Amino acid sequence: MVKARANILIERRAEQVFGFVADDFVENYARWSPEVRQIEALTPGPIGVGSLLRQVRVDQGRRSDNRFTVTAFESPARLEFAESTDLFRTGYWLAPEGNQTRLEFGFELRRLELYMRPFEKLIRLAIQEGAERVVRNIKTLAERELATGSTEPGN
């Protein structure tokens, strides 16, 4: 099993960041994870626990096509997914810090194929770098696109 975690402080409120990451996941995911070539919701309506999604990615020249399910959707605190064959799990966890948000992203590769085991150290490094890139990209996009709001409700 290979795990990676990264976190960052975003200069926006947790509700705003959660909306950007979770509520608008299908629209925004490929923007912060440029390896994603296609993302689609396979269940109608807004995403929530039980929603099924499909992604096509190209990571370091290797194409993958995965289906995954939303396993946790708790506004404004967490969004988690599990790949349909349990190959990977991933999650976004948010914690308010005043008018800012601590965003943590985690990725867990649940198993390595036998032919990949000699490259486990490189895979760990690539996955960790990817996790750090995800939180940096979300921060950049959220701070640029989400208005700085007051702490009053409705703003």
pLDDT in tens, 19-58: 999 999 999 999 999 999 999 999 999 999 999 999 999 9
Q: What is the pLDDT of residue 109?
A: 87
Cα atoms in the 13 Å half-sphere on the side-chain side of 125 = 5
What is the dotted CATH code of the domain comprising 2-145?
3.30.530.20
Q: What is the pLDDT of residue 107?
A: 95
84: CB partners within 8 A, 6+ apart: 52, 66, 67, 68, 69
- pTM, 2 dp: 0.88
- Picking from 142, 74, 64, the residue whose alpha carbon sits closest to that of residue 109 is 64
Model pLDDT for residues 85-133, shown as the tens digit of each residue? 988 999 999 999 999 999 999 999 877 776 677 677 888 888 899 999 9
Q: What is the pLDDT of residue 62?
A: 86
Q: What is the pLDDT of residue 152?
A: 40
Mean pLDDT of 52-69: 92
Q: What is the pLDDT of residue 117?
A: 72
More confident residue, 148 or 11: 11
- List of long-range contacts for 92-99, beta carbons under 8 Å, 24+ apart: 92/21, 92/22, 94/14, 94/17, 94/18, 94/21, 95/14, 96/13, 96/14, 97/9, 99/11, 99/12, 99/13, 99/151
The ranges assigned to domains in the chain are: 2-145
Provide the token pair at 93: 């966890």
